[in-house]
Structure 1
Amino acid sequence: MPLQGPYPERGDMIEFFRPAYKHWGVYVGKGYVVHLSDLTGLSSLSSAFGGWVIVKKERLQDVANGDTYRVNNKDGKNRKPYSTEIIVMRALKEVDEKKEYSLTSHNCEHFATELRYGEGFSDQVTDAVTYTAAGVAFALVAAGIFAGVAYGNQKNRRQRE
């Protein structure tokens, strides 16, 4: 079993490390996790660009499917979670529900944080936006430096002429 760290307790958020992304679910006890799955029954990227997913209750090992996973309750220090009983009850109530999916606003991480904290958020989305913004800012600064150097070189050439 590719578990990192302690075994989950009821109500814990589980982070699954997929090759290209992270998948999230909530542990509901007795070896089961509640999570979003695409309509084919796979917790994959096939719904990454929108569409519909279904909430599934499945064995933790089956959801992990050989990938590493760990307990990651994320903002437990900054946000107060619901009680374990409420988290598990909310998760189980969602099983077999069909939900609209959006990579940026309604993904599996949003789903798990909503169940645990009552607020859906996704650090994957926030980090992607931050990295993209940082990349754009870097490109703009680099372009500005390049333009400044080119202007300085052109000015120096004119002064020599």
Structure 2
Amino acid sequence: AVYVGYNKVVHLVINNLGDTTGFVRRERLEDVVKGSKWKINNLLDGEKKPRAASDIVDEALDQINTEHQYNLLLYNCEHFVTWLRYGIGESRQVQTVVAAAVVTGVGIAGLFGASLGGSR
């Protein structure tokens, strides 16, 4: 979510798990976090130049009530907020999961190959 002032955030939401359409909403921060802990996360600031805060907020407000194609791997809520902040959608969570899956796949392939090689 992107904080836009007055205790409000703008974020991309889906109505049901598995939906392929997301909607941009402005809601109270407390309603979004529902008592969970939260923190400011500008994780990519060391790698990418953030847009001006006023541009981020203006773009976020312009997006309210718009629809976006939603895909957990290709375009999710993290992609949306990094697009607003940096001008490019990126999800470190997805990158971490994909990297772990690749490492696991390589490990399984290596074990499978070793078991085939040992039967000669």
Per the normalisation by structure 1, the TM-score is: 0.69
The answer to whether the Cα contact below 8 Å between 1:36 and 1:55 also exists between their aligned partners in 2 is yes
Identity, % of aligned pairs? 35
Root-mean-square deviation (CA, aligned residues, Å) is 1.4
Question: How many pairs were matched up?
Answer: 120
Which structure 1 residue ranges, 5 or more long, are not aligned? Answer: 1-24, 41-45, 152-161
Q: What SS does the aligned partner of 2:45 have?
A: coil
More helix by share: 2
In the other structure, the counterpart of 1:116 is 85
Structure 2: unaligned runs, 5 residues or longer: none
Q: Write the distance in 2 (CA, Å) between the matches of 1:123 and 1:57.
A: 24
The structure with more strand, counted as a fraction of residues: 1
Alignment partner for residue 72 of structure 2, among 103, 110, 118?
103
Larger Rg, first or second structure (1 or 2): 1
Contact 1:50 1:103 (C-alpha < 8 Å) held by counterparts: no
**1:98-118 CA distance string (max 9 Å, x none):** 221111221101100000000
Structure 1 letter corresponding to 2:12 = L
Question: How far apart, in 2, do the equivalents of 1:147 and 1:51 lie?
Answer: 42
Distance (whole Å) between structure 2 residues aligned to residue 137 and residue 90 of structure 1: 41
- Taking the TM superposition and a 5 Å limit, the aligned residue runs for 1:131-146 are 131-146=100-115
- Runs of 4+ in structure 1 off by over 4 angstroms are none
The two structures have a TM-score, normalised by structure 2, of 0.91
CA contact under 8 A between 1:26 and 1:35: conserved in structure 2?
yes
1:14-60, CA deviations, whole angstroms, 9 ceiling, x for partnerless residues? Answer: xxxxxxxxxxx11111211100122x4xxxxx24x452111001111
1:28–1:88 contact (8 Å) kept in structure 2: yes
- Tell me the secondary structure at the aligned position of residue 48 of structure 2: coil
Q: Distance in 2 between matches of 1:98 and 1:78?
A: 29
1:149 aligns with 2:96: no
> Aligned partner of 2:93: which letter?
Q
